[in-house]
Chains A and B, each alone.
Chain A
Amino acid sequence: MDRKLKLSQWIGFIILAFLILVPVLYSLGGALFCNNHLSENLKSFDSNTIKLLLNSILLAISVAFLSSFAGSILGFLLYKTDFAYRQFFKIIFLIPLFISPYIWAVAWKDFFFTLTGPTPEMQSYGDLILVQTLIYTPLAMLITGSAFAHINASLEEAGLMVFPIKKVFFKIILPLIKPALLAAFTLIFIFSISEFSVPAFYGLKVFTTEIFTQFSAFYNYNLAILQSTILVLICLLLILSEQKYLSQAPFLSVSNRGNQIKLYALKTYRFSAYAFLIFWLTISILIPFGSLTIEAFQDGYQTIFKAFELLKSTIAESFILAVTGSLISIFTGVLFAYLSWSKRTDRTSSISKLIHWTLLITFAIPSLIFGISLIKFYNRSGLYFIYGSALIIIIGYMGKYGFIAYKMIENAIRQLPYELDEVAQTEGLPRFKRLQKIIIPLITPAIFGAFILNFMLMFGDLGTSIIIYPPGTQLMPVKVFTLMANAPQSLTAALTFIVFCVTLCIISLFYIIFKKFLKPTYDCR
């Protein structure tokens, strides 16, 4: 590899690290070394704190396991079978990701109240697991679905010639989507363990509520940052184990026919498949979203118009910022995932690893702490052009969600055979031409999936945005949240309904663009 390329990679990493990691390290350094309260704060890690932490880990494992399981079933049904209306369901099942988990929690509580009356209330850990599982299952569906879509059809066909479909599924398909399954588990675990709003709303005590209390009630930033560090360390350990496990697994699955997806006929399983999809549709979307819609329309269209009037000024700005953030994440993700994947042919992996850990740390740290770290670092003369502009939001988005794009794209690239790149290299094709002409066309669905997911998360982000948004900026989720505090229930529901409709329109538009302009290129290969 030429020096110029290596240098530009290091420059790329340094810029990324400066933008998102240095602020976190700066805060952490302040909490650890620049005060005399460290020993006092360390004393507060008593048995109660450990119990709370274990509690949160157990909850996150349960949510991640259940979501990955349900998500992979949905992914298989919608990406690998001849199920009717697959495209429709693919979009519909993403709805829980459109809306803030907090609103979803409110909707579920309302529904249970309507169903059972004042008692029993929704405030047990089981309820928390249920709600979070329903919220994060689409994430697993998207990740595993993208992997199912990438499986080399010839491998499956060869398997089917010798073995029954059940055996092919367990011996060929499942091992091939293992990286995606583990990626989904890891991402959902991290989302769940760092989630604050749902447990706080149900009045349940978890580690993040403890961090929030130290931060907001006691203004003990140093302890809050130290506690956040523990969360980050747990996530790092999980990722390390995942990587160690995956490093021993073979992932070659896409060949020159890899872009042709083999679809299985459901045959006798059709009824069970329909039953499962309708069941999932009911519990994850119809019930909570139905409750919200009924409330939104209880005064006719008037409340809906009022909600739209309140939100219309925020739509364009939120859209531009989320698209910009998603594109940057995808750009970075493709670039560095490719460099990481090509480690067998050169020695670029050290930079890629650094990028991986950089993105992971900022993803795993709670939004509130990340936001405050950004403020402390960027609010200074010389950097005010970032802090005082929408760039701070882009950096916030990149830090919080860049890892997801990277992970999804890396997962897709991992399934490509190295020979593709090696042959092109032997033919003298430069690195970025190989990326552009061979790799990107093969992983277009994964790139699109990562873009959609990043867009949805950024478009709906509240945790980081509410802390860092520049004065005068209007972001849709922030405005909904600040309005709903004192708004009547019907207006809150109407605001959520508008958010849902806007997001659905945008996502549908992206799907149309993908189908019309991107998919043909990908299919023709």
Chain B
Amino acid sequence: MKNIIIGLIAFLLINACQKNGPEIVVYTSVDQVFSEPILKDFEKESGIKVKAVYDTEETKSTGVLNRLIAEQNHPQADVFWSGDPIRTVVLKQKGLTRPYFSPKAKTIPEIFKDPDGHWTGFSARARVLIYNKKNFKNLPVPQSIFDLTQAIYKGKFGIANPLFGTTTFHMAALFSVLGDQKAKALLQAFKQNQVVIAASNGDIKKRVLNGALACGLTDTDDAFEAQKESNAIGLVFLDQKGNPPLGTLIMPNTVCLIKNSPQPKNGQKLIDYLLRKSTEKKLAESCAQMPLHKDVTIPKKIPSLDAIVPMSINYIQVALKLKTIQKYLKKWIEN
């Protein structure tokens, strides 16, 4: 048995020490089913081997972010590709990113880029309300987030745990736009209206799909996946009307270069690749993400960003806001 163990360990070591040609290490919190094909395409085109670490929102995107923080003294990753801006802003605040102004990002609107070049946004998702048409035969479909406080929706709607994932970002954005008092009142009204707090956005999707919930807040990629699974699912971009309208939260993917990373040049190449129009097109086709470049051809079912009234936020300020409301959110869940 001793010899078998030594043989296996030697095999693993030899395997690990093999290094063939240029490579890049990327950590991503974008679901593997969508990010892997993009990274494979980059590998084919550039000849640079991509070594990826994937994460998912189901683990609250904890894995890669905590890993990046834990590795800060000796970074292994060259690039972090995040599904939202919050995590890259956290990394920037912790001093773990380095600036890179990609030439491919010139046509991306300034609001989606860090002024210091620490992160750049591309392909966005939006926070939407998905609903099961079967549950809405005798009910009006909510058009505003404030509608969910009405008694007719009591116990029928849900949100994912607001301490994690994109729901955190949504809450921080609401606090940032509405102000603390109004946002707290909204959440209190949600509680009184018996909002269901689900484990994740995926859980919201599932509960709406099977009719356990009439509607719920989630991201566009989950919403479009739900629509693929059932014709009974509808989606609404909330708060498109009003004076002025509150708007829908737009959440771009973000990408950043890790400070002191082993292969920064290759990292820059990957960032350039991700910020291309062709990548945005692929993400629009695979997971209904909305391109930030103006002239990208996308499937008809994908709404253009121009057709949506966005929530007027500053991504950096929202990330900072998050820090101040987390304790409140934890209490809100627990009580």
Contacts and interface: CB of A to CB of B under 8 A. Distances in A.
13 contacts: A202-B199, A216-B164, A217-B163, A320-B12, A321-B12, A385-B17, A387-B76, A390-B12, A466-B59, A471-B76, A483-B33, A485-B202, A486-B222
Contact of A380 (B2, B12, B74): B74
For the residues of A in contact with B, the DSSP-based class is: helix
A203 B197 contact: yes
Contact of A486 (B11, B53, B71, B202): B202
Interface in A387-442: 387-391, 394
Contacts of A201: 199, 203
A276 interface: no
A487 to B, nearest CB: 6
B9 interface: yes
Nearest to A216: B62
A389 B12 contact: yes
A483 B25 CA distance: 20
Interface in B211-235: 211-213, 221-222, 225, 228-229
A394 to B, nearest CB: 7
A215 B2 CA distance: 39
Contacts, number: 156
Contacts of A486: 31, 33-34, 56, 202, 221-222, 225, 287
A268 to B, nearest CB: 45
Contacts of B62: 212, 215-216, 368
A479 interface: yes
A471 B74 contact: no
A121 interface: yes
Nearest to B222: A486
For the residues of B in contact with A, the DSSP-based class is: helix
A470 interface: yes
B66 A372 contact: yes
Contacts of A467: 63, 66-67
Contacts of B206: 489
A379 B54 contact: no
A118 interface: yes
B253 interface: no
Contacts of B312: none
Interface in A459-491: 466-467, 469-472, 478-479, 481-489
A472 B54 contact: no
A306 to B, nearest CB: 11
Given A218-B326, A327-B8, A483-B33, A390 B16 contact: yes
B56 A113 contact: no
Contacts of B1: 327, 330-331
A105 B240 CA distance: 38
Interface residues of B, number: 68
Given A380-B73, A471-B25, A113 B210 contact: yes
Q: Which 3 A-B pairs have the closest CB atoms?
A: A389-B16, A472-B51, A471-B51
B8 A324 contact: yes
Given A324-B5, A324-B8, A482 B54 contact: yes
Contacts of A379: 70-71, 73-74, 76
B229 A391 contact: no
Interface residues of A, number: 55
B330 A200 contact: no
Interface in A319-375: 320-321, 323-324, 327-328, 330-331, 368, 372, 375
Contacts of B98: none
A478 B52 CA distance: 12
Nearest to A332: B5
A391 B15 CA distance: 11
A273 to B, nearest CB: 37
A200 B60 CA distance: 11
Interface in B50-82: 50-60, 62-63, 66-67, 69-71, 73-74, 76-77
A485 B199 contact: no
Contacts of B53: 469, 471
A510 interface: no
A320 B54 CA distance: 21
B58 A484 contact: yes
B334 interface: yes
Nearest to B329: A217
Interface in B184-212: 197-200, 202-203, 206, 209-212
A472 to B, nearest CB: 3
A256 interface: no
Contacts of A218: 326
B168 interface: yes
A467 B53 CA distance: 9
Contacts of A488: 225, 228-229
B139 interface: no
Contact of A121 (B66, B202, B212): B212
